[in-house]
């Protein structure tokens, strides 16, 4: 029986250089194959040629909208830096965590492994949001 599990593949390179074009296409092909090997029958892909320090990336924003609007179970990335760098990365991870979206990393050969510091920051963000919600409701 074929399942109808839907995932997205997110590919990013940092520059518009021609040499990066093959990198983004390679990422796309590898991630779609990876998602299908994990049982995802539909894989939508999103791409950016932009710095990971920025959250103002058309592909990223479209991907986040899609995750929010549709039943997307997982995001596939080459490695954690493809989602972003610095604070942008934490912001994206936080949004994905809130939407209960699993992030698979090709480099981790499974669900993305966060270090202790990242996990702590994400826990703090969740706690702060919960208190903000309680204050707003009060």
d(CA 109, CA 88): 23
pLDDT in tens, 111-132: 998 889 989 999 999 999 999 9
What average pLDDT does the chain have?
90
Decide if pLDDT at 20 tops 90.
no
DSSP summary character for residue 113? P
Q: What is the pLDDT of residue 104?
A: 96
List active site positions: 14
pLDDT in tens, 54-95: 999 999 999 999 999 998 999 999 998 999 999 999 999 999
Q: What is the pLDDT of residue 19?
A: 62
């Amino acid at each position: 029986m074929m399942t109808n599990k839907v995932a997205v593949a997110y590919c990013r390179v940092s520059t518009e250089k021609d040499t990066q074009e093959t990198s983004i296409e390679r990422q796309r092909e590898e991630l779609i194959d990876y998602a299908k090997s994990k049982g995802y029958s539909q894989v939508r892909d999103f791409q950016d040629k932009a710095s990971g320090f920025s959250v103002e990336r058309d592909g990223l924003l479209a991907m986040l909208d899609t995750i929010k609007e549709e039943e997307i179970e997982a995001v596939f990335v080459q490695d954690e830096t493809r989602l972003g760098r610095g604070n942008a990365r934490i912001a994206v991870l936080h949004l994905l965590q809130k939407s209960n979206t699993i992030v698979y990393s090709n480099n981790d050969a499974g669900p993305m492994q966060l270090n202790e510091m990242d996990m702590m920051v994400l826990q703090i963000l969740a706690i702060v949001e919960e208190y903000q919600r309680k204050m707003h409701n009060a």
